[in-house]
Chains A and B, each alone.
Chain A
Amino acid sequence: MRNDSGFYGEFGGQFVPETLIPALDRLEESFREFCADRKSLAELKELFEKYAGRPTPVYHAKNISKKYGMNIYLKREDLLHTGAHKINNTIGQALLARRMGKKRIIAETGAGQHGVASATAAASLGFACTVYMGKTDADRQLLNVKKMKFLGSEVNIVDSGMGTLKDAVSAALKDWVASFNTTHYLIGSAVGPHPFPEIVAYFQSVIGTESRAQFGEMGMPPDVVVACVGGGSNAIGIFQGFLDSDARIIGVEAGGRSLNSGDNSATLSLGRKGVFQGSLSYLLENGSLQVEEVHSVSAGLDYPGVGPQHSYLKDSGRVEYRYAFDAQALAACRELTRMEGIIPALESSHALAYVFENSGEFAGKNVLVNLSGRGDKDFEIIDRHLLEDK
C-alpha cells in the first residue's frame, strides 16, 4: 500500500516540525531492523502469548446470531490483558523503544485504554511513562486515570481545546519535539507521521492474521468483517488479515448525536481531505479550514482525524465506511451484555450496532466483528444512559 515517502496513495506523509525528522528516520530504521530480527520477533511473540494473553478466541455468539438471522463471530480482543487490543501495539513499540535506547515513553489517550496499555508496557519493560489525556476524557474515564497512576505513570491532563483525544495528541507531540532524544512517542492509533501508521498497523496485524487462521481451521471464510474506526488501529489490525480475500469489509465510525457538524466523529463519511497531526488524510474541518470539534459517546472514537491507510482504503473502494449513532451503540452494548454475557466497550459497540441495525444486509452470512475492548471502563456512561430505560 505504501510508497517510499510514507504515502498510501495521496494519504500519509510526514507533516511535522523539521526538528522531528531525524527522530522519525531513526524510528523507521529501528523498526525495519526489528522486523528482520528473529530474536526480537520471538520476544514479541512470547510477550503476546504469555503476557498479553494471545491468541484471543473467535467466539460464535449463538444467541445474537439466532436473533439477527446470521452467524456473528466475535474476535475477543476484550479478553487481552488491560482489556483491549491496545496492548498489542504498546508491547511492540516498547520493545522498539528499548532497541533505540530510550528511557522514557510518552503516550496520548482518549478512552484511557491506550494510556493504561502504555503504562502497563512501561511498568513491565522499565520505562518512565507520561500519558497525556484530555480533561473531558479524564473526567469520563476516571478509573483508567487511577489505573495509569497506580501503574506508576504520570498522567498529564490537557485542558486546551475540547479536552479530548486531539488535544492529547497535540500535547504529546509538543512534548516530543523537546524530548525525542531520550523519549519515544508511543502513539496509540494508526495516525500521525510516517512511519507511525505503518508501525501501529504492523503490531495490530496479529488480530487479522489470527482471525484468518482461525476461520481457516473452521473451514470457512467470513463473508463480512466489521470493526469500529476512530483513529483506526483495531480496524486496520483486523482488516489486514482479509484485504486479499473476498470478504466484504466495513469500518464503522461514530455518528454521535447526529450528522450535524460538531455532533459526530464520522471523519471518513463526512470529512474532507486535510493535513492534521502529521499526515494527510480525511479530516473533519469547518469552512475556515479549522479542525472541527467532534463528539462521540465513546472517548476512543472522539477524534476529528483518521489514519491514512483508512483514507486510502476508502478511496480505493476496498473498505466501506459507515457510522452508528450514540444511541445505537449504547443499545448494542446492552444487547450483547444481556444476550451473550459479554460487556463490550462503547467503541466496539459501534461495530455491533451497525451489524444489528442493518441485519437485513447480512442475512445468513458469516459476520466477523472485532470486539476490540471490554466495557468495564465505560460503566459510568453506561449507567447514565442505560439504567433509566432498562
Chain B
Amino acid sequence: MRGVYLMGGYPDEKKFREACDCAVSSGFDFIEIGIPFNDPLADGPVITAAAYASLAGGATPESIVTGIETLRGTAGLYVMTYSNIIYGYGPGRFSERLSGVINGVILADLPNRMSGVLRGMGLEIPIVPFATLETRPSDLDAINKSASDIVYFVGLRGITGADARIFTDELIGKVDMIKKGSDKKIILGFGIKTGEDASRALEICDGFVVGTEAVRRQGDASRLGDYLSSLVS
C-alpha cells in the first residue's frame, strides 16, 4: 500500500485537488489529508509552513471536510490532523460528515491510550493506532483494540521531515514484534524520501506513506507527479 500525505487547502483548493488526482493517477492507494492546525507538535518546518499557508489562504476545518466529501471513492482516504480540530469540530458531527467517506483518522497528538476519550465523545470513524520504536509488548493490546485495519508506524524519533536513517535493525526488530502480535497492516511513515526507501518499506512493512517530500512539491502537479512516480517502480 502506497500512501501520500497532502495538506488540505494548500496552496489553494484547486491545486490541492490536482495534487490528489495526481496521487491517484500515479498509482497510490491512499491519501492522508491534513487539516491544518497552527500548533503542529509533530511536524517539521515543511508541513508546518504548508499548514500556515493553507490557513492564511482561508482554509478551515469546514472547507476541508467539504473538499474531502468530493473525493469519495477516488482512493483510500484518511484525515490526519491534531486532536483539537476533531474535539472542537465535534467528534459526532465529524463522524456524521465523513463516515463511509474516509477509512480512518490519524491524530498526531492522540496516543493510543487516549483514543477512548474522543470515541467517548462520539467519534465513530476508526482511529488509526500508532506503533513506534518505543512500542512495548504491553502496548499491543491497545493497537489491536482499534477498529482501524492499519497501524501507523512512526519510523523515527522526531518530527516529520527529520533527517535520519530509518531502516535500522531496531526498526526491523520492532516491526517484527508488531507483525507477530497484530494482524493489522503496518504502514511506515516519517522518514520515507526516495524510491529506494519506498521499496525497502514495502519489503519490511505492508505499506508506506510519504509526507514532507510530497508537500514540498504539492503546489506543482507535474513535479509532484514525477516525484510520486519515482516511488512506484
Q: Which residues of A contact B (CB under 8 A)?
A: 5, 13-23, 160-161, 166, 170, 173-174, 177-181, 272-278, 280, 283, 285, 287-291
**Provided the pairs A17-B41, A174-B41 are in contact, do residues A160 and B48 lie with their beta carbons within 8 angstroms?**
yes
Residue A177 contacts which of B39, B112, B136, B158 (CB distance < 8 angstroms)?
B158
B61→A17 contact, CB < 8 A: no
**Provided the pairs A173-B41, A174-B159, A274-B88 are in contact, do residues A18 and B82 lie with their beta carbons within 8 angstroms?**
no
**Provided the pairs A15-B114, A17-B111 are in contact, do residues A277 and B41 lie with their beta carbons within 8 angstroms?**
yes
B172: CB under 8 A from chain A? Answer: no
Residues of A within 8 A of B159 (CB): 174, 177-178
CB contact list, B19-46 vs A, under 8 A: 36-39, 41-42
For B106-145 the 0/1 string (1 means CB < 8 A from A) is 0011111110010000000000001111111001000000
A103 to B152, CA, bound (A): 31
Interface size on B, residues (CB 8 A): 39
A181 to B162, CA, bound (A): 17
A21→B157 contact, CB < 8 A: no
Instruction: Output the least CB separation between A169 and chain B (Å).
Output: 9
Residue B87 contacts which of A5, A177, A280 (CB distance < 8 angstroms)?
A280
A14→B89 contact, CB < 8 A: no
**Provided the pairs A15-B83, A22-B134, A275-B87 are in contact, do residues A177 and B38 lie with their beta carbons within 8 angstroms?**
no
B154→A19 contact, CB < 8 A: yes
Chain A residue at minimum C-beta to C-beta distance from B154: A19
A170→B111 contact, CB < 8 A: no
B85: CB under 8 A from chain A? Answer: yes
Chain B residue at minimum C-beta to C-beta distance from A290: B38
Residues of A within 8 A of B134 (CB): 18-19, 21-23
A166→B87 contact, CB < 8 A: no
Residues of A within 8 A of B61 (CB): 288-289
A170 to B40, CA, bound (A): 8
B84: CB under 8 A from chain A? Answer: yes
Residues of B within 8 A of A287 (CB): 60
A161 to B45, CA, bound (A): 12
Instruction: Output the least CB separation between B135 and chain A (Å).
Output: 8
B75: CB under 8 A from chain A? Answer: no
Instruction: Output the least CB separation between B62 and chain A (Å).
Output: 8
With A17-B111, A275-B82, A277-B39 given, name 15 new contacts (CB 8 A).
Answer: A15-B110, A17-B109, A17-B154, A18-B131, A161-B38, A161-B39, A174-B158, A177-B157, A275-B84, A275-B87, A277-B41, A280-B117, A289-B61, A289-B84, A290-B37
Instruction: Output the least CB separation between B129 and chain A (Å).
Output: 8
**Provided the pairs A289-B85, A291-B39 are in contact, do residues A18 and B130 lie with their beta carbons within 8 angstroms?**
yes
A22→B136 contact, CB < 8 A: yes
Instruction: Output the least CB separation between A186 and chain B (Å).
Output: 18
A266 to B159, CA, bound (A): 31
Which of B39, B83, B89, B134 is most buried by chain A, counting CB atoms within 10 A of its CB? B39
Residues of B within 8 A of A23 (CB): 134
Which of B42, B88, B113 is most buried by chain A, counting CB atoms within 10 A of its CB? B88
Residues of A within 8 A of B113 (CB): 5, 14, 21
Q: List 16 A-B contacts (CB under 8 A).
A: A13-B117, A14-B113, A14-B114, A17-B42, A17-B108, A17-B154, A19-B133, A173-B41, A178-B157, A180-B157, A181-B157, A276-B84, A283-B84, A288-B55, A289-B84, A290-B36
Residues of B within 8 A of A170 (CB): 39, 41
Residues of B within 8 A of A280 (CB): 87, 117
A356 to B157, CA, bound (A): 50
Residue B111 contacts which of A21, A181, A276 (CB distance < 8 angstroms)?
A21
Residues of B within 8 A of A285 (CB): 84, 88
Chain B residue at minimum C-beta to C-beta distance from A171: B41
Residues of B within 8 A of A5 (CB): 113
**Provided the pairs A13-B114, A19-B134, A283-B84 are in contact, do residues A178 and B158 lie with their beta carbons within 8 angstroms?**
yes
**Provided the pairs A15-B83, A17-B111, A17-B154 are in contact, do residues A291 and B136 lie with their beta carbons within 8 angstroms?**
no
Which of B89, B117, B131, B133 is most buried by chain A, counting CB atoms within 10 A of its CB? B117
A19 to B131, CA, bound (A): 8
Residues of B within 8 A of A277 (CB): 39, 41
Instruction: Output the least CB separation between A165 and chain B (Å).
Output: 12
A16→B41 contact, CB < 8 A: yes
Instruction: Output the least CB separation between B197 and chain A (Å).
Output: 19
A83 to B99, CA, bound (A): 54
Residues of A within 8 A of B117 (CB): 13, 280
Chain B residue at minimum C-beta to C-beta distance from A180: B157
**Provided the pairs A290-B37, A291-B38 are in contact, do residues A274 and B84 lie with their beta carbons within 8 angstroms?**
yes
Residues of B within 8 A of A290 (CB): 36-38, 55
Instruction: Output the least CB separation between A215 and chain B (Å).
Output: 40
**Provided the pairs A19-B134, A21-B111, A289-B89 are in contact, do residues A178 and B38 lie with their beta carbons within 8 angstroms?**
no
A274 to B133, CA, bound (A): 29
A-B interface, 6 closest residue pairs, ranked by CB to CB distance from nearest: A18-B130, A289-B88, A178-B158, A275-B83, A275-B84, A288-B60
B132→A19 contact, CB < 8 A: yes
A275 to B114, CA, bound (A): 12
